Amino acid sequence: MTRIDDTPSAWDERTQLTRFLDYARDTARFKCQGVSAENARRAPLPGSPLMTMSGVINHLRWVEYYWFRVVFLGEEDQGPWTDEDPDREMRVAVDFPLPQLLDEYAEQSARHRELVAGRGLDDRAARPVRDGRHVDLRWILLHLTEETARHNGHLDILREILDGTTGD
């Protein structure tokens, strides 16, 4: 897992942004190590029937796709969600083995890492966000770090309820 607690005295902004996102991604994958196939598909929280470990990982994968490919690059949205089922990426995740979802997430993260490396942090998204602004790549990196870190908390809770595993 990429560690960020042993940092040099000075990192440039791009390094800080990308290293923190990579750390959050690695943490999500780490929290899934050793979880059983059955537990990966279980939704133990009564008020959250879609909140499974598989669902969270698939959600993170598709959230990155949406922000980098659809919003930033302006590509056509090919995501699994629909107007009738806006959380479909979490629902369908239980149909796939967790290792496959983790591999797809890692492969996509690598492609997005290359995309970010070739762009300026001030580059603007092709599509506007809800309020009509065209955010810059910096904002997208910060948003994805926040989103991934928040869902890492969900993975912590799920894992502890499912099999008692706790972690850093």
Q: Is the dihedral of CA 113, 154, 35, 31 positive or negative?
A: positive
CATH topology of domain 28-163: Four Helix Bundle (Hemerythrin (Met), subunit A) (1.20.120)
What is the secondary structure of 17-66 as a DSSP string?
HHHHHHHHHHHHHHHTTT--HHHHH----TT-TT--HHHHHHHHHHHHHI
Predicted local confidence at residue 115, as pLDDT:
98
Residues 31 and 151: their CA atoms lie apart, in Å, by 11
Three-state secondary-structure class, residue 136: strand
Predicted local confidence at residue 4, as pLDDT:
58
Residues 49 and 57: their CA atoms lie apart, in Å, by 15
**CB neighbour class for 68 (10 Å; exposed up to 12, middle 13-18, buried from 19):** buried
Predicted local confidence at residue 63, as pLDDT:
97
Predicted local confidence at residue 11, as pLDDT:
84
pLDDT tens series, the chain, 168 aa: 655 566 666 789 999 999 999 999 999 999 999 999 999 999 999 999 999 999 999 999 999 999 999 999 999 999 999 999 999 999 999 999 999 999 999 999 999 999 999 999 999 999 999 999 999 999 999 999 999 999 999 999 999 999 999 976
Per DSSP, what are the bridge partners of residue 136? 124
